Structure 1
Amino acid sequence: MKHVGILGHSWEGASLCWREVCQHSTRLGHPAHPDITMDCISFVHCMPAWDRSDYEAVRAVLTTSVARLEQAGCDFFVCPDNTAHLALETAGEPLAIPGLHLIDIVADAAQRAGHRRVGILGTRFTMQGPLYPRELAARGIESIIPTEDDQALVHAAIFDELVHGVFRDETRASFVDLIGRLANSGCDAVALVCTEIPLLLSPDESPLPVLDSTRLSGRAALEVALGTRELPSWRGGQFRR
Protein backbone atom coordinates (compact mmCIF):
# COMPACT_ATOMS: atom_id res chain seq x y z
CA MET A 1 0.00 0.00 0.00
CA LYS A 2 1.07 3.58 -0.61
CA HIS A 3 2.05 5.81 2.31
CA VAL A 4 -0.65 8.48 2.75
CA GLY A 5 0.29 12.04 3.69
CA ILE A 6 -2.40 14.26 5.19
CA LEU A 7 -1.76 17.97 4.80
CA GLY A 8 -3.69 19.36 7.74
CA HIS A 9 -4.73 22.98 8.06
CA SER A 10 -7.24 22.85 10.90
CA TRP A 11 -7.01 19.99 13.35
CA GLU A 12 -10.66 18.91 13.71
CA GLY A 13 -11.24 18.35 10.01
CA ALA A 14 -7.82 16.81 9.41
CA SER A 15 -8.57 14.31 12.18
CA LEU A 16 -11.83 13.33 10.45
CA CYS A 17 -9.94 12.71 7.20
CA TRP A 18 -7.45 10.55 9.12
CA ARG A 19 -10.26 8.50 10.64
CA GLU A 20 -11.86 7.99 7.23
CA VAL A 21 -8.64 6.53 5.80
CA CYS A 22 -8.41 4.21 8.81
CA GLN A 23 -11.95 2.89 8.24
CA HIS A 24 -10.29 0.34 5.94
CA SER A 25 -9.29 -1.57 9.07
CA THR A 26 -12.89 -1.61 10.28
CA ARG A 27 -14.13 -2.96 6.97
CA LEU A 28 -11.54 -5.74 6.97
CA GLY A 29 -11.95 -6.56 10.63
CA HIS A 30 -8.24 -6.30 11.39
CA PRO A 31 -5.66 -3.47 11.57
CA ALA A 32 -4.69 -3.08 7.92
CA HIS A 33 -4.95 0.61 7.16
CA PRO A 34 -2.20 2.23 5.08
CA ASP A 35 0.73 3.98 6.68
CA ILE A 36 -0.39 7.56 7.38
CA THR A 37 1.58 10.65 8.32
CA MET A 38 -0.11 13.94 9.06
CA ASP A 39 1.58 17.33 9.21
CA CYS A 40 -0.48 20.21 10.57
CA ILE A 41 1.21 23.55 11.21
CA SER A 42 -0.77 25.66 13.68
CA PHE A 43 -3.56 27.60 12.01
CA VAL A 44 -2.45 30.72 13.86
CA HIS A 45 0.46 31.12 11.44
CA CYS A 46 -1.91 31.46 8.47
CA MET A 47 -4.92 33.45 9.71
CA PRO A 48 -3.32 36.90 9.30
CA ALA A 49 -2.40 35.96 5.72
CA TRP A 50 -5.93 34.71 5.01
CA ASP A 51 -7.38 37.94 6.38
CA ARG A 52 -5.29 40.01 3.97
CA SER A 53 -5.81 37.54 1.07
CA ASP A 54 -2.08 36.80 0.94
CA TYR A 55 -2.30 33.36 -0.64
CA GLU A 56 1.43 33.24 -1.35
CA ALA A 57 2.18 33.44 2.37
CA VAL A 58 -0.29 30.65 3.11
CA ARG A 59 1.22 28.55 0.33
CA ALA A 60 4.66 28.94 1.90
CA VAL A 61 3.38 27.42 5.15
CA LEU A 62 1.61 24.59 3.33
CA THR A 63 4.71 23.95 1.21
CA THR A 64 6.68 23.39 4.42
CA SER A 65 4.13 20.78 5.51
CA VAL A 66 4.29 18.96 2.15
CA ALA A 67 8.09 18.90 2.33
CA ARG A 68 7.92 17.32 5.78
CA LEU A 69 5.47 14.70 4.48
CA GLU A 70 7.94 13.88 1.71
CA GLN A 71 10.72 13.54 4.28
CA ALA A 72 8.51 11.15 6.25
CA GLY A 73 8.27 8.88 3.22
CA CYS A 74 4.76 9.72 1.99
CA ASP A 75 4.03 8.83 -1.64
CA PHE A 76 1.37 11.52 -2.05
CA PHE A 77 -0.74 13.89 0.02
CA VAL A 78 -4.36 14.75 0.49
CA CYS A 79 -5.44 18.09 1.93
CA PRO A 80 -8.99 17.94 3.32
CA ASP A 81 -9.15 21.74 3.64
CA ASN A 82 -11.03 23.33 0.73
CA THR A 83 -9.90 26.90 1.42
CA ALA A 84 -6.26 25.79 1.45
CA HIS A 85 -6.61 24.87 -2.21
CA LEU A 86 -6.90 28.56 -3.07
CA ALA A 87 -3.35 28.93 -1.76
CA LEU A 88 -2.12 25.61 -3.18
CA GLU A 89 -3.23 26.76 -6.64
CA THR A 90 -1.11 29.91 -6.33
CA ALA A 91 1.88 29.80 -8.68
CA GLY A 92 5.14 28.62 -7.17
CA GLU A 93 7.72 25.88 -7.13
CA PRO A 94 6.24 22.38 -7.54
CA LEU A 95 5.32 20.75 -4.25
CA ALA A 96 7.63 18.01 -3.00
CA ILE A 97 5.14 15.19 -3.62
CA PRO A 98 1.96 15.01 -5.71
CA GLY A 99 -1.44 15.57 -4.17
CA LEU A 100 -5.10 14.89 -4.70
CA HIS A 101 -7.16 17.96 -5.59
CA LEU A 102 -10.12 18.12 -3.23
CA ILE A 103 -12.40 20.25 -5.39
CA ASP A 104 -11.93 17.81 -8.27
CA ILE A 105 -12.89 14.93 -5.96
CA VAL A 106 -16.08 16.65 -4.77
CA ALA A 107 -17.09 17.76 -8.26
CA ASP A 108 -16.62 14.21 -9.55
CA ALA A 109 -18.85 12.93 -6.73
CA ALA A 110 -21.53 15.48 -7.65
CA GLN A 111 -21.38 14.39 -11.27
CA ARG A 112 -21.60 10.69 -10.41
CA ALA A 113 -24.67 11.37 -8.28
CA GLY A 114 -26.35 13.23 -11.12
CA HIS A 115 -26.64 16.55 -9.31
CA ARG A 116 -27.35 19.64 -11.40
CA ARG A 117 -27.50 22.53 -8.89
CA VAL A 118 -25.29 22.39 -5.80
CA GLY A 119 -25.27 24.77 -2.84
CA ILE A 120 -21.80 25.61 -1.50
CA LEU A 121 -21.22 25.95 2.26
CA GLY A 122 -17.71 26.73 3.46
CA THR A 123 -15.56 29.63 4.51
CA ARG A 124 -16.21 32.99 2.90
CA PHE A 125 -12.97 32.48 0.94
CA THR A 126 -14.27 29.21 -0.51
CA MET A 127 -17.83 30.37 -1.12
CA GLN A 128 -16.66 33.49 -2.97
CA GLY A 129 -13.69 31.81 -4.63
CA PRO A 130 -13.43 30.48 -8.19
CA LEU A 131 -12.65 26.81 -7.56
CA TYR A 132 -16.08 25.26 -7.08
CA PRO A 133 -17.77 27.29 -9.84
CA ARG A 134 -14.93 26.27 -12.18
CA GLU A 135 -14.90 22.55 -11.43
CA LEU A 136 -18.66 22.13 -11.20
CA ALA A 137 -19.29 24.12 -14.39
CA ALA A 138 -16.77 21.90 -16.20
CA ARG A 139 -19.16 19.04 -15.44
CA GLY A 140 -22.32 20.92 -16.38
CA ILE A 141 -23.30 21.60 -12.75
CA GLU A 142 -24.41 24.99 -11.43
CA SER A 143 -22.94 26.19 -8.12
CA ILE A 144 -25.05 28.32 -5.78
CA ILE A 145 -23.67 30.33 -2.88
CA PRO A 146 -25.81 31.69 -0.03
CA THR A 147 -26.76 35.33 0.44
CA GLU A 148 -24.19 37.66 2.00
CA ASP A 149 -25.91 37.41 5.40
CA ASP A 150 -25.90 33.63 5.25
CA GLN A 151 -22.27 33.61 4.13
CA ALA A 152 -21.42 35.70 7.19
CA LEU A 153 -23.31 33.23 9.42
CA VAL A 154 -21.46 30.21 8.01
CA HIS A 155 -18.05 31.90 8.05
CA ALA A 156 -18.45 33.04 11.66
CA ALA A 157 -19.62 29.60 12.77
CA ILE A 158 -16.55 28.00 11.21
CA PHE A 159 -13.96 30.32 12.74
CA ASP A 160 -15.67 31.08 16.07
CA GLU A 161 -16.82 27.53 16.82
CA LEU A 162 -16.10 24.62 14.49
CA VAL A 163 -12.32 24.91 14.11
CA HIS A 164 -12.15 25.00 17.92
CA GLY A 165 -14.16 21.77 18.25
CA VAL A 166 -17.32 23.57 19.40
CA PHE A 167 -20.54 22.13 17.91
CA ARG A 168 -23.69 23.83 19.18
CA ASP A 169 -27.30 22.72 18.64
CA GLU A 170 -28.26 26.29 17.79
CA THR A 171 -25.63 26.44 15.06
CA ARG A 172 -26.74 23.08 13.69
CA ALA A 173 -30.34 24.35 13.52
CA SER A 174 -29.24 27.48 11.65
CA PHE A 175 -27.41 25.33 9.07
CA VAL A 176 -30.46 23.09 8.62
CA ASP A 177 -32.59 26.18 8.04
CA LEU A 178 -30.10 27.56 5.52
CA ILE A 179 -29.93 24.27 3.61
CA GLY A 180 -33.71 24.18 3.53
CA ARG A 181 -33.71 27.58 1.86
CA LEU A 182 -31.14 26.35 -0.66
CA ALA A 183 -33.49 23.46 -1.42
CA ASN A 184 -36.37 25.89 -1.89
CA SER A 185 -34.23 27.86 -4.36
CA GLY A 186 -33.79 24.77 -6.54
CA CYS A 187 -30.60 23.15 -5.26
CA ASP A 188 -30.60 19.36 -5.42
CA ALA A 189 -27.57 18.86 -3.14
CA VAL A 190 -25.38 20.77 -0.71
CA ALA A 191 -21.59 20.59 -0.65
CA LEU A 192 -20.22 20.76 2.88
CA VAL A 193 -16.87 22.16 1.86
CA CYS A 194 -15.43 23.29 5.13
CA THR A 195 -13.48 20.48 6.77
CA GLU A 196 -15.46 20.67 10.02
CA ILE A 197 -19.07 21.14 8.83
CA PRO A 198 -19.59 17.35 8.49
CA LEU A 199 -18.82 17.10 12.22
CA LEU A 200 -21.64 19.54 12.95
CA LEU A 201 -24.26 18.20 10.56
CA SER A 202 -24.98 14.59 9.59
CA PRO A 203 -26.52 13.60 6.25
CA ASP A 204 -29.69 12.53 8.07
CA GLU A 205 -30.13 16.04 9.47
CA SER A 206 -29.68 17.80 6.12
CA PRO A 207 -32.74 18.71 4.03
CA LEU A 208 -30.62 18.02 0.91
CA PRO A 209 -28.28 15.20 -0.13
CA VAL A 210 -24.81 15.96 1.19
CA LEU A 211 -21.42 16.08 -0.53
CA ASP A 212 -19.08 15.62 2.45
CA SER A 213 -15.73 16.91 1.22
CA THR A 214 -13.79 15.71 4.26
CA ARG A 215 -14.86 12.09 4.09
CA LEU A 216 -14.64 12.12 0.29
CA SER A 217 -11.01 13.22 0.62
CA GLY A 218 -10.22 10.37 3.01
CA ARG A 219 -11.90 7.79 0.77
CA ALA A 220 -10.01 9.04 -2.28
CA ALA A 221 -6.71 8.87 -0.39
CA LEU A 222 -7.48 5.31 0.68
CA GLU A 223 -8.23 4.34 -2.92
CA VAL A 224 -4.85 5.69 -4.03
CA ALA A 225 -3.12 3.84 -1.19
CA LEU A 226 -4.83 0.59 -2.18
CA GLY A 227 -4.03 1.04 -5.86
CA THR A 228 -7.66 1.31 -6.99
CA ARG A 229 -7.22 4.98 -7.87
CA GLU A 230 -4.40 6.42 -9.94
CA LEU A 231 -1.55 8.12 -8.11
CA PRO A 232 -2.10 11.87 -8.52
CA SER A 233 0.26 14.06 -10.50
CA TRP A 234 -0.80 17.55 -9.33
CA ARG A 235 2.00 19.39 -7.50
CA GLY A 236 0.32 22.72 -6.83
CA GLY A 237 -0.53 25.55 -9.21
CA GLN A 238 -3.72 25.67 -11.23
CA PHE A 239 -5.28 22.25 -11.39
CA ARG A 240 -5.79 20.67 -14.79
CA ARG A 241 -7.59 17.38 -15.23
Structure 2
Amino acid sequence: MPHLGILAANPDGAARCFLRYCRAGAAQLSGHTYPDVSLDYIGFGHHLQAWRRGDLGAVATSLARSVDRLAASGADFFVCPDNTVHLVLDTMGSDLALPGIHIVQAVADEARAAGRRRVGVLGTAFTTGSDLYRDRLGAAGIEVETPAPEDAQRLDEIIFGELVDGAASEPSRAWGVEVVRGLADRGCDAVALASTELPLLLAPEDSPLPVIDSTTVLADRALDVALAETPLPTWRGGRHAGLRSAPT
Protein backbone atom coordinates (compact mmCIF):
# COMPACT_ATOMS: atom_id res chain seq x y z
CA MET A 1 0.00 0.00 0.00
CA PRO A 2 1.21 3.54 -0.69
CA HIS A 3 2.92 5.22 2.26
CA LEU A 4 1.46 8.61 3.26
CA GLY A 5 3.58 11.53 4.38
CA ILE A 6 1.95 14.28 6.44
CA LEU A 7 3.62 17.68 6.05
CA ALA A 8 2.77 19.32 9.37
CA ALA A 9 2.61 23.11 9.43
CA ASN A 10 0.65 23.39 12.68
CA PRO A 11 0.35 20.79 15.45
CA ASP A 12 -3.44 20.61 15.85
CA GLY A 13 -4.22 20.21 12.17
CA ALA A 14 -1.50 17.59 11.72
CA ALA A 15 -2.62 15.66 14.81
CA ARG A 16 -6.27 15.66 13.70
CA CYS A 17 -5.31 14.51 10.20
CA PHE A 18 -3.08 11.74 11.57
CA LEU A 19 -5.73 10.46 13.97
CA ARG A 20 -8.50 10.53 11.37
CA TYR A 21 -6.31 8.69 8.87
CA CYS A 22 -5.25 6.01 11.33
CA ARG A 23 -8.67 5.44 12.88
CA ALA A 24 -10.51 5.37 9.56
CA GLY A 25 -7.86 3.03 8.15
CA ALA A 26 -8.15 0.70 11.12
CA ALA A 27 -11.94 0.68 10.76
CA GLN A 28 -11.64 -0.43 7.14
CA LEU A 29 -8.77 -2.90 7.54
CA SER A 30 -9.57 -4.14 11.10
CA GLY A 31 -7.10 -5.48 13.63
CA HIS A 32 -5.71 -2.02 14.44
CA THR A 33 -4.06 -2.01 11.02
CA TYR A 34 -3.76 0.97 8.72
CA PRO A 35 -1.44 2.00 5.86
CA ASP A 36 2.02 3.31 6.72
CA VAL A 37 2.24 7.01 7.57
CA SER A 38 5.09 9.37 8.41
CA LEU A 39 4.87 12.93 9.75
CA ASP A 40 7.39 15.74 9.47
CA TYR A 41 7.04 18.99 11.41
CA ILE A 42 9.16 22.12 11.27
CA GLY A 43 7.95 24.39 14.09
CA PHE A 44 4.89 26.51 13.37
CA GLY A 45 6.57 29.61 14.77
CA HIS A 46 9.24 29.57 12.05
CA HIS A 47 6.55 29.68 9.34
CA LEU A 48 4.51 32.32 11.16
CA GLN A 49 7.40 34.75 11.55
CA ALA A 50 8.35 34.35 7.89
CA TRP A 51 4.73 35.01 6.88
CA ARG A 52 4.56 38.15 8.99
CA ARG A 53 7.72 39.60 7.52
CA GLY A 54 6.60 38.71 3.99
CA ASP A 55 9.43 36.23 3.39
CA LEU A 56 7.44 33.57 1.55
CA GLY A 57 10.61 32.25 -0.03
CA ALA A 58 11.74 31.13 3.41
CA VAL A 59 8.40 29.38 3.94
CA ALA A 60 8.71 27.65 0.55
CA THR A 61 12.23 26.43 1.37
CA SER A 62 11.05 25.04 4.70
CA LEU A 63 8.07 23.27 3.14
CA ALA A 64 10.20 21.73 0.38
CA ARG A 65 12.62 20.49 3.04
CA SER A 66 9.76 18.77 4.88
CA VAL A 67 8.63 17.07 1.67
CA ASP A 68 12.22 15.95 1.03
CA ARG A 69 12.37 14.40 4.49
CA LEU A 70 9.04 12.65 3.95
CA ALA A 71 10.35 11.22 0.68
CA ALA A 72 13.47 10.00 2.50
CA SER A 73 11.22 8.26 5.05
CA GLY A 74 9.70 6.18 2.26
CA ALA A 75 6.49 8.14 1.68
CA ASP A 76 4.92 7.81 -1.78
CA PHE A 77 2.70 10.92 -1.57
CA PHE A 78 1.93 13.69 0.90
CA VAL A 79 -0.79 15.87 2.33
CA CYS A 80 -0.47 19.16 4.19
CA PRO A 81 -3.31 19.72 6.69
CA ASP A 82 -2.90 23.50 6.67
CA ASN A 83 -4.93 25.62 4.24
CA THR A 84 -2.91 28.83 4.44
CA VAL A 85 0.34 27.01 3.67
CA HIS A 86 -1.15 26.02 0.30
CA LEU A 87 -0.80 29.65 -0.73
CA VAL A 88 2.94 29.00 -0.74
CA LEU A 89 2.73 25.46 -2.11
CA ASP A 90 0.84 26.97 -5.04
CA THR A 91 3.84 29.20 -5.84
CA MET A 92 6.51 26.50 -5.94
CA GLY A 93 8.70 27.05 -8.99
CA SER A 94 10.05 23.50 -9.13
CA ASP A 95 8.44 20.17 -8.45
CA LEU A 96 8.29 18.94 -4.89
CA ALA A 97 9.93 15.61 -4.12
CA LEU A 98 6.53 13.89 -3.76
CA PRO A 99 3.11 14.26 -5.37
CA GLY A 100 0.42 15.54 -3.05
CA ILE A 101 -3.30 15.97 -2.55
CA HIS A 102 -4.24 19.66 -2.59
CA ILE A 103 -6.43 20.37 0.44
CA VAL A 104 -8.65 22.85 -1.44
CA GLN A 105 -9.14 20.43 -4.32
CA ALA A 106 -10.25 17.83 -1.78
CA VAL A 107 -12.80 20.30 -0.37
CA ALA A 108 -13.97 21.25 -3.88
CA ASP A 109 -14.49 17.60 -4.80
CA GLU A 110 -16.43 16.99 -1.57
CA ALA A 111 -18.63 20.05 -2.11
CA ARG A 112 -19.34 19.14 -5.71
CA ALA A 113 -20.19 15.55 -4.80
CA ALA A 114 -22.71 16.89 -2.25
CA GLY A 115 -24.27 19.18 -4.84
CA ARG A 116 -23.22 22.40 -3.12
CA ARG A 117 -23.58 25.58 -5.18
CA ARG A 118 -22.38 28.35 -2.82
CA VAL A 119 -19.96 27.67 0.02
CA GLY A 120 -18.96 30.01 2.82
CA VAL A 121 -15.26 29.81 3.60
CA LEU A 122 -13.84 30.41 7.09
CA GLY A 123 -10.09 30.61 7.63
CA THR A 124 -7.18 32.87 8.39
CA ALA A 125 -7.12 36.35 6.88
CA PHE A 126 -4.36 35.06 4.57
CA THR A 127 -6.72 32.40 3.21
CA THR A 128 -10.01 34.30 3.01
CA GLY A 129 -8.28 37.33 1.52
CA SER A 130 -6.82 35.28 -1.33
CA ASP A 131 -8.13 33.42 -4.37
CA LEU A 132 -7.09 30.06 -2.92
CA TYR A 133 -10.67 28.80 -2.56
CA ARG A 134 -12.24 30.85 -5.33
CA ASP A 135 -9.92 29.30 -7.92
CA ARG A 136 -10.57 25.65 -7.18
CA LEU A 137 -14.17 25.85 -6.05
CA GLY A 138 -14.91 28.13 -8.99
CA ALA A 139 -13.44 25.55 -11.35
CA ALA A 140 -15.90 23.08 -9.81
CA GLY A 141 -18.81 25.42 -10.53
CA ILE A 142 -19.19 26.52 -6.90
CA GLU A 143 -19.46 30.13 -5.72
CA VAL A 144 -17.51 31.24 -2.65
CA GLU A 145 -18.56 33.66 0.07
CA THR A 146 -16.27 34.90 2.86
CA PRO A 147 -17.01 36.85 6.05
CA ALA A 148 -17.17 40.63 6.04
CA PRO A 149 -13.70 42.23 6.50
CA GLU A 150 -14.22 43.00 10.18
CA ASP A 151 -15.41 39.45 10.84
CA ALA A 152 -12.50 38.02 8.86
CA GLN A 153 -10.10 40.01 11.04
CA ARG A 154 -11.73 38.87 14.27
CA LEU A 155 -11.69 35.25 13.06
CA ASP A 156 -7.98 35.56 12.30
CA GLU A 157 -7.39 36.85 15.83
CA ILE A 158 -9.35 33.93 17.31
CA ILE A 159 -7.41 31.40 15.23
CA PHE A 160 -4.00 32.74 16.26
CA GLY A 161 -5.01 33.84 19.74
CA GLU A 162 -7.01 30.80 20.85
CA LEU A 163 -7.29 27.93 18.42
CA VAL A 164 -3.59 27.36 17.73
CA ASP A 165 -3.27 26.78 21.48
CA GLY A 166 -5.96 24.10 21.33
CA ALA A 167 -8.88 26.00 22.87
CA ALA A 168 -11.84 28.23 22.03
CA SER A 169 -13.77 30.42 24.46
CA GLU A 170 -17.56 30.20 24.72
CA PRO A 171 -18.02 33.81 23.48
CA SER A 172 -15.88 32.97 20.44
CA ARG A 173 -17.94 29.86 19.72
CA ALA A 174 -21.21 31.80 19.96
CA TRP A 175 -19.80 34.49 17.67
CA GLY A 176 -18.69 31.85 15.16
CA VAL A 177 -22.22 30.47 14.94
CA GLU A 178 -23.52 33.95 14.16
CA VAL A 179 -20.95 34.40 11.40
CA VAL A 180 -22.12 31.17 9.78
CA ARG A 181 -25.73 32.26 10.15
CA GLY A 182 -24.80 35.39 8.22
CA LEU A 183 -23.29 33.27 5.43
CA ALA A 184 -26.51 31.27 5.30
CA ASP A 185 -28.45 34.51 4.90
CA ARG A 186 -26.23 35.28 1.91
CA GLY A 187 -27.33 32.09 0.17
CA CYS A 188 -24.60 29.65 1.21
CA ASP A 189 -25.61 26.00 1.36
CA ALA A 190 -22.50 24.82 3.27
CA VAL A 191 -19.53 26.21 5.18
CA ALA A 192 -15.94 25.07 4.65
CA LEU A 193 -13.67 25.06 7.69
CA ALA A 194 -10.62 26.26 5.77
CA SER A 195 -8.38 26.35 8.82
CA THR A 196 -7.58 23.00 10.33
CA GLU A 197 -8.11 24.31 13.89
CA LEU A 198 -11.64 25.60 13.22
CA PRO A 199 -13.49 22.48 14.45
CA LEU A 200 -12.51 23.74 17.91
CA LEU A 201 -14.66 26.81 17.21
CA LEU A 202 -17.56 25.36 15.25
CA ALA A 203 -18.97 21.89 15.87
CA PRO A 204 -21.17 20.46 13.09
CA GLU A 205 -24.11 20.10 15.47
CA ASP A 206 -23.95 23.82 16.31
CA SER A 207 -23.57 25.08 12.75
CA PRO A 208 -26.52 26.66 10.91
CA LEU A 209 -25.04 25.18 7.70
CA PRO A 210 -23.65 21.75 6.77
CA VAL A 211 -19.93 21.69 7.55
CA ILE A 212 -17.11 20.62 5.24
CA ASP A 213 -14.11 20.04 7.51
CA SER A 214 -11.00 20.39 5.34
CA THR A 215 -8.88 18.24 7.68
CA THR A 216 -11.30 15.31 7.69
CA VAL A 217 -11.85 15.48 3.95
CA LEU A 218 -8.09 15.54 3.30
CA ALA A 219 -7.41 12.54 5.56
CA ASP A 220 -10.22 10.57 3.92
CA ARG A 221 -8.91 11.32 0.41
CA ALA A 222 -5.43 10.23 1.51
CA LEU A 223 -6.86 6.95 2.79
CA ASP A 224 -8.61 6.41 -0.55
CA VAL A 225 -5.20 6.66 -2.23
CA ALA A 226 -3.49 4.39 0.29
CA LEU A 227 -6.19 1.73 -0.17
CA ALA A 228 -5.92 2.02 -3.97
CA GLU A 229 -9.48 3.29 -4.30
CA THR A 230 -8.13 6.30 -6.20
CA PRO A 231 -4.79 6.68 -8.03
CA LEU A 232 -1.74 8.43 -6.66
CA PRO A 233 -2.03 12.22 -7.03
CA THR A 234 0.02 14.08 -9.62
CA TRP A 235 0.17 17.62 -8.14
CA ARG A 236 3.71 18.58 -7.06
CA GLY A 237 3.12 22.21 -6.19
CA GLY A 238 2.10 25.07 -8.42
CA ARG A 239 -1.14 26.98 -8.61
CA HIS A 240 -2.96 25.32 -11.46
CA ALA A 241 -1.36 21.89 -11.64
CA GLY A 242 -4.04 19.26 -11.21
CA LEU A 243 -6.86 21.81 -11.19
CA ARG A 244 -10.07 20.04 -12.22
CA SER A 245 -12.97 21.85 -13.86
CA ALA A 246 -16.64 21.24 -13.31
CA PRO A 247 -18.21 18.83 -15.85
CA THR A 248 -19.93 20.55 -18.76
Q: Residue deviations 1:105-147, cap 9 Å, x none? A: 1011111111111111000011011111111111211101111
Partner of 2:161: 160
Task: Give the SS at the match of 2:119.
Answer: strand
Task: Give the SS at the match of 2:239.
Answer: coil
> What is the CA-CA distance between 1:48 and the residue it aligns to?
1.9
> What is the CA-CA distance between 1:169 and the residue it aligns to?
1.9
State whether residues 60 and 92 of structure 2, in contact with CA within 8 Å, keep that contact through their aligned partners in structure 1. no
Q: For 1:1-241, what aligned pairs fall within 5 Å after superposition? A: 1-23=1-23, 24-241=25-242
Relative distance call for 1:205 and 1:27 in structure 2 (3 A) is farther
Relative distance call for 1:28 and 1:97 in structure 2 (3 A) is closer
> What is the CA-CA distance between 1:222 and the residue it aligns to?
0.6
Letter in 1 for 2:6: I
Partners of 1:239 and 1:76 in 2: how far apart? 18
5+ long unaligned stretches in structure 2: 243-248
Task: Give the SS at the match of 1:46.
Answer: helix
Q: Find runs of 4+ consecutive structure 1 residues off by over 6 angstroms.
A: none
Aligned length: 241
Task: Name which of structure 1's ranges 165-174 and 56-65 shifts more when overlaid on structure 2.
Answer: 165-174
Partner of 2:246: none
State whether residues 98 and 235 of structure 1, in contact with CA within 8 Å, keep that contact through their aligned partners in structure 2. yes
Partners of 1:236 and 1:91 in 2: how far apart? 5
> What is the CA-CA distance between 1:205 and the residue it aligns to?
1.1
Letter in 2 for 1:96: A
Q: Residue deviations 1:48-75, cap 9 Å, x none? A: 2211333222111111110110110000
Letter in 2 for 1:170: P
State whether residues 50 and 58 of structure 2, in contact with CA within 8 Å, keep that contact through their aligned partners in structure 1. yes
> What is the CA-CA distance between 1:93 and the residue it aligns to?
2.3
Letter in 1 for 2:201: L
The CA RMSD measured in Å over matched residues stands at 1.2
> What is the CA-CA distance between 1:182 and the residue it aligns to?
0.8
> What is the CA-CA distance between 1:237 and the residue it aligns to?
1.5
> What is the CA-CA distance between 1:37 and the residue it aligns to?
0.5
> What is the CA-CA distance between 1:201 and the residue it aligns to?
2.0
State whether residues 55 and 90 of structure 1, in contact with CA within 8 Å, keep that contact through their aligned partners in structure 2. no
5+ long unaligned stretches in structure 1: none
> What is the CA-CA distance between 1:28 and the residue it aligns to?
4.2
State whether residues 176 and 201 of structure 2, in contact with CA within 8 Å, keep that contact through their aligned partners in structure 1. no
> What is the CA-CA distance between 1:5 and the residue it aligns to?
0.3
Task: Give the SS at the match of 2:231.
Answer: coil
Task: Give the SS at the match of 1:155.
Answer: helix
Partners of 1:197 and 1:94 in 2: how far apart? 30
TM-score (norm 2): 0.94
> What is the CA-CA distance between 1:79 and the residue it aligns to?
0.6
> What is the CA-CA distance between 1:27 and the residue it aligns to?
4.3
